[in-house]
Amino acid sequence: MRYAFLIALREFVENAKTKGFWIGIFTFPVLFGISIAVSVLLASSNPTRHFFIVDQSGQLAASIEHAVERAHQGAVLGALNRYAQENVRSEMRTRPDLSAIPNDLAEQAGNPAGDPQAIDRFLAAGGAAAFLERLRPSLDPNAPEFVEPPPEHVRLDLPAGIDANANIATIAQQLRPYLNGALTLRSGGKDVKPFAAILIAPDALAEVARPDGSPANVGRSPAGVGGLAPGHSPARASRVQYWSSNLTDRRLPELVGRALNDEVRSREYVDRGVSRAVVRQVQGTSIRLSSFDPGKEEGKETVSLGDRIVRSAPVAFVYLLWISIFVVMQMLLNNTIEEKSNRIIEVLLSSVTPSELMMGKLIGIAGIGFTMVGTWLATAFIGMQLYQGPGTEVIGQALDVLSGSGLVPTFFVYFLLGYLLYAGIFLSAGSLCNSLKEAQSLQGPMMMIMIVPLMTMVFINMDPHGTLARIMTWIPIYTPFVMMNRAAADPPLFDLVGSALLVIATTAVVLWLSGRIFRIGILRTGQRPKLVEVLRWMRGVAEP
């Protein structure tokens, strides 16, 4: 064992001195920091989308503008929420939430995305100015001034020369150069590229679709009303049209769709004798649904946002586990082939046995892997603790729950099991090859096998006790990834213990067989052995 540890120390030192090791050490922290900075930058610099509205019905544009304004006020409320969390006086900042600011403001802030009534409370209380006035006594004296986020969507006036009363198809053709970016408009003192156009025909409300099939004209609109202008190719023309060359950003069309549907339903209520005030009151009525986890300790069953994040955290751990094992396997494979091609192996084997050499390599590269992964995890935890910005309170909750979840120790256990299992496979493959070019032909099938956990990790996380998860749990080469993915869902003890014993047994067999292949293949040169020869080595037929 003494010689094995000497080999391990040599492997660790030799790899720790390489540029690739230090690049690997620092790449993750740098990318992690860049991703946070970019996400913060993107969150604070969403582009303003400018759009046209042509409402020839005269009945729907107001509802769209109202929805756009409410969305903006929701963004303002979210920004005020973050501003309060980041700038409250230090002596009042007992934890990253809104407990340090007045209760009425905490109630207003709520969650604009998940609680539309929060915006109503916010506006009814006086909006941003009133919120800031009430918040001021709780702020740090050196807090910067609050900067209201720019609106995401801004309505534009139609360009000069376009008649808003013309045929809808004609207006659409005239707006094409603007929507395609060929022409710009002046707005707010700068040139802007219009993002979209919402065109509403005079008889748009005739296209309402009802469940019972009563009057709902969804066919072609007559030319000159909302349909086709003379000279245009025939096509089905809707009475409400959304034009945009950007097919990926769905925020505006979804906002417009909700606004129009809300307006149409409100009109249906009014037609049936129900006032709009009653409609708003009914729509604002809700019941609170609380989530509880039966697997948690009695009295602490309430599911928090941190619990939900931690339940999804295994997906990130699986990805990190895959990356770390892949990187370490590449390192082990390259080192073995390089030493074999340079005849360094022959020098080493003059002093140690093949078994000691193999064990030393496994231990040394494992040390490199644990160093890299430990550094990555430590960087992520420290970075999240030091981070101050949007989502600070969520990150704080997630860290608290994550620290007590046992996911990190579980990760290292499955990293060790996965490493030893795949190390045996890659080490034996490296002993069979004389060059990296030969190794590449073997890496292809190995990569196809290893890619499966990445393709299934999201589905397993969604249904950790489903058929797919249970089957893949008992496939040893996938067990570390699958059980890591299931770790936060409290898998059955039978799966947990049984799969661990299966992986340990499989790993022992793989390492034993790999030792036989390594003992003969590491000194073999020339043509790569055939599969039949390798099987004979595994059976112990051939001698070193």
Convert the pLDDT of each residue in 435-455 to its tens digit: 767 777 777 777 788 888 888
Instruction: Enter the pTM of the model.
Output: 0.63
CA dist 320 and 379 (Å) reads 13
Closest-CA residue to 395 (of 36, 115, 38): 36
Mean pLDDT, the chain, whole residue set = 77
Least confident of 189-198, 292-301, 340-349, 388-397: 388-397
CA dist 224 and 240 (Å) reads 14
Positive or negative: CA dihedral 88, 92, 94, 98: negative
Q: Which residues does 167 contact at the CB level (< 8 Å), separation at least 6?
A: 223, 224, 225, 229
Asked if 68 contacts 155 with a C-beta cutoff of 8 angstroms, the reply is: yes
Least confident of 73-82, 110-119, 231-240: 231-240
Q: Is the pLDDT of residue 158 over 80?
A: yes
CA dist 503 and 414 (Å) reads 10
| More confident position, 35 or 184 | 184
Determine the average pLDDT of the residues in 25-50.
71
Structure tokens at 31: 């990318």
- In the structure, how many helices (H) and strands (E) does the chain have? 20, 6
Structure tokens at 99: 């407990």
Q: Which residue matches tokens 């900075």?
A: 37
Q: Can you give the pLDDT at residue 37?
A: 67
**Tens of pLDDT along 280-314?**
788 777 777 777 777 667 777 677 666 676 777 78
Q: Is the pLDDT of residue 30 over 90?
A: no
Asked if 234 contacts 228 with a C-beta cutoff of 8 angstroms, the reply is: yes
Q: Can you give the pLDDT at residue 388?
A: 58
Helix (H, G, I), strand (E, B) or coil at 275: coil
Determine the average pLDDT of the residues in 386-395.
59
